[in-house]
Amino acid sequence: MISIEEFRKHAHQMVDWMADYYHSIDKYPVKSNVNPGDILKKIPDKAPQEGEPMSEIFEDFKNIIMPGITHWQNPKWFAYFQANSSYPSVLAEMLTATLATQCMIWETSPAATELEEKMMVWLKDIMGLPEHFEGVIQDTASTATLCAFLSAREKTSNFKINKEGFSGKEKYRIYCSTETHSSIDKAIRIAGMGDKNLVKVEVDEKLAMKPENLENAILEDINSGKKPLCVVATIGSTGTMAIDPLSKIAEITQQYGIWLHVDAAYAGSALVLPEYRWMADGLEYADSYVFNPHKWLFTNFDLSAYYVKDKDVLIRTFSIMPEYLKTQVDQNVNNYRDWGIQLGRRFRALKLWFVLRNFGVVELKNRIKNHIDMVQELIIEIKNDPEFELMTENPLNMICFRFHPGSINDETTLNTMNEKILQKINATGETFLTHTRIGRTYVIRLVAGQTYLEKEHLQEVWQLIRKTCYDILKNE
């Protein structure tokens, strides 16, 4: 292993490399264009017996690993949802890696626990979340949703399933819309509820859950002896950024005494703007809520903010107290190992602290507003272009569209053509976009929210999209 002096030397070199990388990130193809197995072939089958020099390892990083990297921090990243980073966040991650502290309980790093507690208060405040919420950092929204289901299960069973397991008579039902993220389906399985007990409620023309269908499904279940356990409402669905009508859904969950979990993984960051808080009307009735600063709030993956109405239910669901983890201060502090699944926890709060302080709330608002505004301007341009079809109305920063020249009306041809267009755009390496389907219709999906994105980037990509569409049309 290298000495401390070599560590210093290489660390300086790597920081220079990091700054150069961000400076010239647009020189790399946004989406890696290697073939399956290309990287595998270049890595020896066995680990070396003797240590290798750091300089050689770093060269291999540049030559072998970098070609297989897809560059999420390129401003022309419009695929999936962003997993944003930012300079203050990267700096904090360097310190986190250096301290390499494991923050399972207060005593294993009091500053990590107390900073996490304070960051959850700051976030609640700047996002205008309900005052009574209490928060904890989870790794991902998938984990937070699983925590919600397990907590709902335990609360409803009076903490019996934790003790005795399922009796086989529970008949619990969970409801979400047909547009909900797949992490809900996965959490149902892990929580032992079974795919067949996930009820997918129909959506309206905006692809948002129909509350009347939710209520009918709940009543039907109650009448047939089943037990409605939890409803998941989404603010900003993954496919099309649909926004479920939260306040109407909350009325229903209140009326029938059902746990309400709200998944705002991506769009939750927009609540920093008071003018978008209508999306969260009714959130005060939620039992649990998750959004990901690691998506649109410029904070490195992984950092999910999970808020609950009643932290005692969460802690009772997860707390196990072996002798070796007991401390003198357990009654006076938060031990976050009891607030979720993992025992060992990374020091995640540090990067959020760096981001919130270095950006400041005003800059966070400006960037997010800027993303939304540039998308809304482009939406007007697309609406006025007879050869393009806008597939959803969206108030935030996603555009779902397809190329639809007047000469073509066959749906299968349009689907195939738009699929080809997307492949050709991504093969240029200039940008990266992904797709979804609305019903059977193939739709190109563009999400404009990368940390370093400027209006010119979006315009360049829009011109590339247009050119690609007409090139393909010419060759059809």
Q: Minimum CB separation from ligand PLP for residue 349, in Å?
A: 17
Nearer to ligand PLP, 103 or 265 (CB): 265
Nearer to ligand PLP, 74 or 180 (CB): 180
Nearer to ligand PLP, 105 or 279 (CB): 279
Q: Does 181 bind ligand PLP (CB under 6 A)?
A: yes
Say how far apart CA 461 and CA 185 lie, in whole Å.
34
Q: How far is CA 71 from CA 107, 269, 403, in A?
A: 38, 22, 26
Q: How far is CA 215 from CA 78, 228, 291, 322, 426, in A?
A: 36, 11, 26, 43, 43
Nearest to 191 by CA among 230, 246, 234: 230
Do the beta carbons of residue 145 and residue 187 sit within 8 Å? yes
Applying CB under 6 A, among 183, 269, 299, 317 the residue interacting with ligand PLP is: 183
> What is the 3-class SS of 356-401, one letter each residue?
HHHHHHHHHHHHHHHHHHHHHHHHHHHHCCCCEEECCCCCCCEEEE
DSSP line for 249-310: HHHHHHHHT-EEEEE-TTGGGGGGSGGGGGGGTTGGG-SEEEE-HHHHSS--S--EEEEES-
Nearer to ligand PLP, 185 or 251 (CB): 185
Q: Does 81 bind ligand PLP (CB under 6 A)?
A: yes
Name the burial class of residue 102, with classes exposed (0-12), middle (13-18) and buried (19+) by CB atoms within 10 angstroms of its CB.
Answer: middle
Q: What does the per-residue mask of binding to ligand PLP show for 212-251, with x meaning CB under 6 A?
A: ----------------------x--xx-------------
Nearer to ligand PLP, 215 or 244 (CB): 244
Q: Which stretch binds ligand PLP (CB under 6 A): 26-34, 63-71, 137-145, 185-193?
A: 137-145
Q: Minimum CB separation from ligand PLP for residue 406, in Å?
A: 34
Q: What residues numbered 254-273 form the site for ligand PLP, per CB under 6 A?
A: 263, 265-266
Q: Does 79 bind ligand PLP (CB under 6 A)?
A: no
Applying CB under 6 A, among 137, 141, 174, 283 the residue interacting with ligand PLP is: 141
Applying CB under 6 A, among 142, 151, 392, 451 the residue interacting with ligand PLP is: 142
Non-local CB neighbours of 350 within 8 Å, separated by 6+ positions: 92, 95, 96, 112, 115
Q: Does 148 bind ligand PLP (CB under 6 A)?
A: no
Q: Minimum CB separation from ligand PLP for residue 137, in Å?
A: 12
Q: Minimum CB separation from ligand PLP for residue 241, in Å?
A: 9
Nearer to ligand PLP, 351 or 404 (CB): 351
| Total binding residues toward ligand PLP, as defined by CB under 6 A | 14
Q: How far is CA 359 from CA 66, 295, 299, 356, 387, in A?
A: 29, 16, 11, 6, 40
Q: Minimum CB separation from ligand PLP for residue 128, in Å?
A: 20
Nearest to 264 by CA among 443, 129, 452, 445: 129
Q: Does 292 bind ligand PLP (CB under 6 A)?
A: yes
Q: Is the peptide bond before 302 cis (omega within 30 degrees of 0)?
A: yes
Q: Minimum CB separation from ligand PLP for residue 142, in Å?
A: 3
Question: Which residues contribute to the site for ligand PLP (CB under 6 A)?
Answer: 81, 140-142, 181, 183, 234, 237-238, 263, 265-266, 292, 304
